[in-house]
Amino acid sequence: MGIGLLRKALSVPATSLGVCCAYDPGVLTMTTRKASILATAFCALVSLAAISRAQTTDAEDAAARAERWKALQEAIFGDRKVQDGSGVIELDVPPRALDAALVPVSLQLAGKKPIKGVYLVIDNNPSPLSAHFVFGPRADPRVLQVRVRVDEYTLMHAVAEGQDGKLYLAEKFVKAAGGCSAPAGFSEEQALQEMGRMKLRLIGDFAAGKPLQAQLMIRHPNFNGMQMNQITRFYTPARFIRSTEVTYDGSRIFHLDSDISMSTDPVIVFGFVPPARGTLKVAIQDSDDATFAHSFDVPQPPG
Amino acid sequence: MSASRDLPRAGALILILLGVSGLAAEPPSSAAPADEPADFWTGPINGPVPATLSGGAVIHAQELSELLKQGGVVLVDVSNLPHRPENLAPGAPWLPVPHRVIPGSVWVPGAGIGAIAPDIDVYFRDQLAQATRNDPDHPIVIYCHERCWLSWNGAKRAVRYGYRNVHWFPEGIEGWRAAGLDTVIAEPSTPSSGTPTP
């Protein structure tokens, strides 16, 4: 992807200081208390007005969101056609997330089409292209789950790329705000101590040649560089996982390129097809070029 | 003093105690409002905020919308600027969406930080003085985002500066948009961007 192009397509329009009107020396004729009483008195009228206004604003918001996605789509996929992904890809996100720093995203690629990979775009995050999965020969791409940070109310897009090169789109709106500046929940020292530890949990029973799901838990703060300390006013430097390669006996399950939108301590649920007993290997590289690797026996030894 | 005259008082006391213990027994929930700290909040910026602001008043979307129609309100968004991490990969796309504010707002990033930077402190104080024309009773409304302490801090700061008609809008721009009200795109107003001219 041409990053320059992405920049150009999305350059923020330079607006003049449209904020000056707050300083407009308008005649102050009413005290706040009076205004409050009035506000209460006209409550019914206001609600009526709000209904019609809501429609205009929603329409404007929808237009702005569509425009943003159009620009992102062009920047990421160029002039390639992106078609409706019904029957190929499903995207599930809670409409209103409980924790904006930990929004669960579930992708279902249950169609019959062979899938090469999938892109996850969080439109209104400052760094919108959040994840790009590329599946390998050992993948069962039907189920994929990650957890992400959401900075403000946004559309989320998942684009599956078929082996035939065609692009299939799924879209959801999610209401969450502040996920990018939310703290990691522990100190930097603590995070760095445990960084790189991993756990793998198999979901279902192992049978050679049968699809199996796994939950991969990785200790990594994924500091996104946007978390401010209110006393020092310094930002915790960004340090995040850039790439995750998961293989089975040397053959790829998936490769993930990720960005600062991934949550702290990432949890990835994925499917794979083990042809026989073997070893699942995870290799991670982060933005400081630190690498972490771990091997797991499949099936897992008892206990 | 007779015992019979004391009984109603004792009854009232019991009721009060019951009321208090009833509140205390309430299980803590993430949605519950936080207690008002005595000073500025210096903990995590996003999270449950108090239900009140001592020295100021809480205002909600429709009431604010009506207040703004009267004019003469100083409206300040104290949201922080989106911060691009220094160590993002060179050339990594950084595309914050245009910042939306309530029409008529001035956006002063940094004015809501617990330990405010000295230059922003001076700037925020000057901006308020100028906008209110040094009238401590001039209505001021401070907001940022939902579940965000910056506006609580900013409003508290305005109260500390001596303003007596400070409103805190805790639902922020999300609450404003959820109420179907209009927004406009704004640029930050900072000491280096110069003073907006009336």
Architecture of domain B53-80+97-190: 3-Layer(aba) Sandwich (3.40)
Taking each helix axis from N to C end, the angle separating A43-77 and A32-41, rounded to the nearest 10 degrees, works out to 90
Residue A239 touches chain B, beta carbons under 8 Å: yes
- Judge contact between A130 and A102, C-beta under 8 A: no
What is B56-106 written as a DSSP string? SEE--HHHHHHHHHH---EEEE-PPPPPPPTTSPTT----PPPPEE-TTEE
Q: How far is B2 from chain A (nearest CA, A)?
A: 46
> Which one-letter DSSP state was computed for residue B165?
S
Give the residues of chain A that fall short of pLDDT 70: 1-60, 181-187, 303
DSSP H stretches of helix in chain B: 3-25, 61-70, 118-132, 149-161, 172-178
Closest CA to A5 of A66, A56, A61, A76: A76
CATH fold of A82-298 = Immunoglobulin-like (2.60.40)
pLDDT value of residue A227? 78
Q: Tens of pLDDT along chain B (198 residues)?
A: 334 444 444 444 444 333 333 333 333 334 578 899 999 999 988 889 999 999 999 999 999 999 999 999 999 999 998 888 877 766 666 788 889 999 999 999 999 999 999 999 999 999 999 999 999 999 999 999 988 999 999 999 999 999 999 999 999 999 999 899 999 999 999 998 755 443
- Tell me which chain B residues have a C-beta less than 8 angstroms from the C-beta of A181: 45-46, 80
Q: Which of B84, B167, B198 sits opposite A32 (nearest CB)?
A: B167
B-facing residues of A in 15-54 (CB < 8 A) are 15-32, 35-36, 38-40, 42-43, 46-47, 50-51, 53-54
- Judge contact between A299 and A286, C-beta under 8 A: no
Q: Which of A23, A36, A231 sits opposite B131 (nearest CB)?
A: A23
The structure tokens listed for B175 are 């609450």
Strands laid side by side in the A278-286 sheet: A82-84, A167-174, A154-162, A115-122, A129-135, A251-258, A241-248, A278-286, A291-298
- Tell me which chain A residues have a C-beta less than 8 angstroms from the C-beta of B74: 22-23
What is the H or E stretch that residue B169 is in? strand B166-169
pLDDT value of residue A41? 39
Q: Which of B74, B94, B193 sits opposite A22 (nearest CB)?
A: B74
pLDDT value of residue A26? 30
Residue B21 touches chain A, beta carbons under 8 Å: no
Cα Dmax for chain A: 81
Q: How far apart are CA B98 and CA A11, in angstroms?
A: 9
CB contact under 8 A, A228 and B80: yes
Q: How far is A37 from chain B (nearest CA, A)?
A: 9
Of the residues A52, A154, A230, A260, the best mutation for testing chain B's interface (the one with the most B CB atoms within 10 Å of its CB) is A230
Of the residues A7, A8, A17, the best mutation for testing chain B's interface (the one with the most B CB atoms within 10 Å of its CB) is A17
pLDDT value of residue A187? 67
Residue A6 touches chain B, beta carbons under 8 Å: yes
Strands (E), A123-230: 129-135, 139-148, 154-162, 167-174, 198-203, 212-218
State ipTM: 0.74
Collapsing DSSP to helix, strand or coil, A72 comes out as helix
DSSP H stretches of helix in chain A: 3-10, 32-41, 43-77, 188-194
Domain locations along chain A: 35-79, 82-298
What is the H or E stretch that residue B107 is in? strand B105-107
Closest-CA residue in chain A for B114? A230
- Judge contact between A76 and A121, C-beta under 8 A: yes
Q: Which of B93, B104, B117 sits opposite A127 (nearest CB)?
A: B93
- Tell me which chain B residues have a C-beta less than 8 angstroms from the C-beta of A68: 97
pLDDT value of residue A237? 84
Domain locations along chain B: 53-80+97-190
Q: How far apart are CA B147 and CA B158, in angstroms?
A: 19
Residue A78 touches chain B, beta carbons under 8 Å: no
pLDDT value of residue A118? 97
pLDDT value of residue B89? 66
Q: Global pTM?
A: 0.73
CA angle, B98 then B102 then B106, to 5° = 80
